[in-house]
Chain A
Amino acid sequence: MRVLITGATTPLGAAIVRRLVAADDVEHVLEVGAEPGIADGPRRTYQRVDLGRPREVHDLLHGPVRDRGVDVVIHAALHRRATDEGAQVHASNVDATRALLLGCAELPAVRRFVFVSSAAVYAVRSRAPGLLDEDAALELDPGAPQWIRDRVEADLTVCARMGLERFGVIVLRCAELLEHASGSQLWDYLRSRVCLRPLGFDPMLNVLSLDDAADGIVLALRSQASGVYNLAGADTLPLSRLIARWGRRAVALPGPLLHPLYRLRRRATGLDFRYDLNRRRFHLGGIVDDARARRDLGYAPSHPIAWPR
């Protein structure tokens, strides 16, 4: 197996690469990231590519990917900072996904395309099920922040090619990866010693550990399955409990106050947490149902979060 992985410089990308390099049946891992500086090894090569530029994507696919005979592609690169918006971010999230997918169609060696999506694509509403399976409605509200809209568009872009390509396409909608430098809104939220939460609401949340996410993705690339799969984490708990387990103090305030307060915090500190991105799930929750991944992929989350206390 020869694997291309985008987003290789993120903690998740690095965890996947560690598993691939340790596997006997993986001949080579071609790692792609936006940052400089990962040393090549005997079975791994790093290439810096700006996926937001179509020419660089083209040259990657028709250069190293073709030359190495890559047969499995893991696309795990999405722009992480929620406060960044605009055409360039959209190009990195959506156009890059489309370009990679369509480019892979021109490479006969590619037999599998794994897209690492996010459970943030689901619409959280009071009418939505308590457990969101893969058939749950997606967040198609045009007023949603770009961070969500881009993820939905990239997800749907990949879903739209399912069954049309000669290679297997699989979309993994991961619960929130509670990990540093992974674009986790909750990670950023928990950086404050005092965490504000909406008064009168204590929704259930599910968080995913790095090891479970990486294991799930590796299972997906080894399986013959195609389609959409949710990956949930081993930790499901109320927001108040999550804050306490992280060693933070929760202060409940009326919901309408939280958006302006967190906007102020963002402006003052540069931290990335946006309450408008999280408002619905901080009121209503939203747990992904991973029954399909358990059944078809053999996925079973077994690595709880390493809680500080």
Chain B
Amino acid sequence: MVRETTRLSKTSRKSKASKSSLFNKANLRYWQLYILMIPAIVYMVIFMYGPMYGVQIAFRDFSARAGFWNSPWVGLTHFKRFLSYPDFWRIMQNTLSISLLNLVFGFPLPILLALMLNEVRNRMFKKTVQMATYLPYFISSVAFAGMVTLFCDRNAGMITNILTLFGVERSNLLSVPRYFHAIYVGSYIWQHTGYTSVLYIASLSNVDMSIVEAARVDGASRLQKVWHVDFQCLKPTIIIQLILSIGRILTLSYDRILLLQNDLNMETSDIISTYVYRLGLIGGQFSYTTAIGLFNNVINLILLVIVNAIARKYSETSV
């Protein structure tokens, strides 16, 4: 240990600017690590950064023959068009609403589930619940959409039948606009809670048993123990997950919603990415939809930076 410290201080004494320590003999070996990253870097450059040059068609009037570089430049036309689109606010609202609902209800539940499961003494029961909650994750989006559609059916739908018992008017749930957010978020949570909770369950296994014992001796109730010990242990993980989630609020992907969208619920189910899909891939308006995508991305980036900065300020963990 002493040798360690000496070496380090020697290094810092020798270097003038912090940058030169990067290439310092002692640190050269760390560049080897980049060799490990080669496959990933290659992939990123080709498949992720490569297409980014295509973003420029947001400022052009894309023509297939002219290609990216020769299509005429139109500046901010597409952006203006999007912002003046009569339904612009509705789409933004839908996207935000679904994401926030997901966050507010979907974020705490896995944590709760993990904490609850952790308290179960009966191994059989614990395992069964864990397995059951995890299984829905394996259902693909196509199969899942099929299930939801069947369950929301007016006459034969399982969910419809149950709701009718509670006095809700019988109807096809997917054709009522005001139900859509609840259905989508509810089904999403149903599918992902178990899967997300695994992360927390695993973390909980790291709880220092001596602290638990101490708490018990101090007369803490089960509830108090869960709050003061278990939850605290999870805090760092929770914060990182929260950062990642908030940063992705506007990145709601279209593939799941598209499968559940229909003419009747369109006013609440149309989000940025489904609008882009409809007009872009089906309507062929590539420049316009790329502009919307770019707009979306920029907002995401800003969000991420803000959230990360806040997190850094208030805790030691950040991305």
Tell me, yes or no, whether A binds B. Answer: no
Interface set of B (CB-CB < 8 Å, partner A) = none
Interface set of A (CB-CB < 8 Å, partner B) = none
